[in-house]
Amino acid sequence: MGKKTSNKKALISLAIGGFGIGMTEFVIMGILPDVASALNITIPQAGHFIAAYALGVVVGAPILTSLSSKWPAHKLLLGLMVWFTIFNTLSAFAESYNSLLFFRFLSGLPHGAFFGIGAVVAGKLAAPGKSAQAIAIMFAGLTIANVIGVPLGTYLGHHFSWSISFILVGIVGIMAMFSVYRWMPSIPKTSTGGLKKDLLVFKRRELWVLILLTTVGTGGFFAWYSYIAPLLTNVSGYPESMVSYAMILAGLGMVVGNFLGAKMTEMFTPMRAVVISLSMMVVVLLINTVVAHNPIGILVLTFIIGMISFSVSTPLQMAIINASKGSEMLGSSMNQSAFNMGNASGAYLAGLPIAMGFGVTSASYIGAVLAGTGVLIAVTIVIVKNKKGILKTRFRRLAFK
C-alpha cells in the first residue's frame, strides 16, 4: 500500500514539472501581442520566441538525456527542474528581443529530457499494463497548465505585464523541484552500456520515421495554436480579454484528449491510435477555417481541436519508447525534440501566409496539410509493420514444417 501511494506521489511530481513546462511553452502564445508591443517588434517577430524555445528543446533533449548513463534518473530530473526554474525566471527580466530570445532558448533545453526521462520513469512506476495511463498522468500536468496556468498567465500578462507570466513559471518550477526531491524514489541508472551504446538507437530506421511523424503531424496543431490570439481578435471579433477564456477551453480539450489518447493506446496499437487522431485533426482544422468568423462556432472548435490534438501525445510516446528498446530514455526524449520541431515548424510555416497577407485563417490550412502528411506517414508505418508481421508468421510456419 505504501509503495503504491509513493508511486502516485512520484507521478504527481512529474505532473507538476509538466505543468510548469506546459505553462512556459504555451503562455507565450497567449501574450504574443503584448510581448510584441512591449519590445516594439511585430507579431511574426515575437513568434521567434516560440521557435527559440522549441530549438532549445531539440538541442537539449539528446544532450541532457545522455547524462542518464552517468546519473540516476531521479537526480537528473531534479537537476533539469533547477535549470528550468533559473532561466524561466530570468526570462521575466529580459528587456530586449535578443535577450528574451536567448533566455527562451536556454529555458527550452531541459524540456525534452524531462519529459523523455519522465515518460520512461512513469512506465516503470506503473502497474503492469498501465504504462500508457502513467505517462498520461505526467502529460496531464502539461494539459492542466492550459486550463489554469496558461489562462492565468495570459490574463496577468495582458492586464499587467507579460513578465509576470514567466515569474509564475519560476514559482511552479520551485514547486516541481521540491516535489521531485521529496517524492521521487531512487531510480538506478537504466543505461548499462553507456552513451556509445545508447547512440546506436539512431541506426534504427523506424525511430527516424517516428521522429518525422511527430514533427510533421503535431506541427498541424501548432500551426493553429500559435496564432490563436490574433485568430480570436482579428477574425472572430472577440476583445483581447476573451483570449484567456478561449485558452481555458483549449486546455480543457487537451485534458480530455490526453486521457482519451491513453485509452485509445490500450484499445488499439499506438500507431493505429495515431492514425485516428491525426485524421480527425485534419477534419477539424479544415472546419475551423469555415467557422472562424462565427463567435460561437470558433469556441466549440477551440475545445475540439485541443482535445483531438492531444489525443496523439501518449500513443506517439509509447510508439517511440517501443522502437527504442535498450535506449528508451534517449528515444523518448527525441520524441519531445520532434514535438518541438513541430512547434517551431508549425509556427513558422503558418506565419508565412499570414505575413504575405492571406489572413490568420490560413494557419489552419497549413495545419491541416501538416496533419494530413502525418496521417500518410503513420499509415505507411502500419502497412510496413503488418507486412513484416505476415512475413515473420510465414517464416515460422515454414521453419516448423
Q: Is residue 239 left, alpha or beta, with left meaning phi > 0 and alpha meaning psi from -120 to 50?
A: beta
CA distances from 70 to 57, 75, 146, 198, 298 (A): 21, 10, 34, 12, 49
The torsion angles phi and psi of 146, rounded to 5 degrees, stand at -80, -10
d(C-alpha 261, C-alpha 179), whole Å: 26
DSSP at 234: I
Look up residue 355 and give its three cell numbers: 505575413
**CATH number assigned to the domain covering 2-399:** 1.20.1250.20
Look up residue 89 and give its three cell numbers: 525566471
Domain ranges of the chain: 2-399
Question: Mind listing the pLDDT tens digit of every residue in the chain (401 residues)?
Answer: 455 555 888 899 999 999 999 899 888 877 888 888 888 888 778 878 888 888 888 888 888 877 766 778 788 899 999 999 999 999 999 889 999 999 999 999 999 889 888 888 888 887 777 777 888 888 888 888 888 888 888 888 888 889 999 999 999 999 999 999 988 887 766 554 556 666 777 778 888 999 999 999 999 998 998 888 888 888 888 887 788 788 889 889 988 998 898 889 888 888 899 999 999 999 999 999 999 889 899 999 999 999 999 899 889 988 888 888 777 777 778 888 888 788 778 888 998 898 888 888 989 999 999 999 999 999 998 888 777 666 555 555 545 45
The SS3 of residue 310 is: helix
The torsion angles phi and psi of 185, rounded to 5 degrees, stand at -70, 160
Do the Cβ atoms of 155 and 80 come closer than 8 Å?
Answer: no
pLDDT reported for residue 140: 87
d(C-alpha 324, C-alpha 330), whole Å: 8
pLDDT reported for residue 1: 42
Q: End-to-end CA distance of the chain: give it in Å, rounded.
A: 50
Look up residue 261 and give its three cell numbers: 489518447
Of 24, 336, 27, which is closest to residue 172 (Cα–Cα)? 24
The C-alpha torsion from 382 through 386 and 392 to 397, rounded to 10°, is 160
> ∠ CA(169), CA(174), CA(177), 5° rounding?
125
Alpha-carbon torsion 155, 157, 160, 163, what sign? positive
pLDDT reported for residue 368: 95
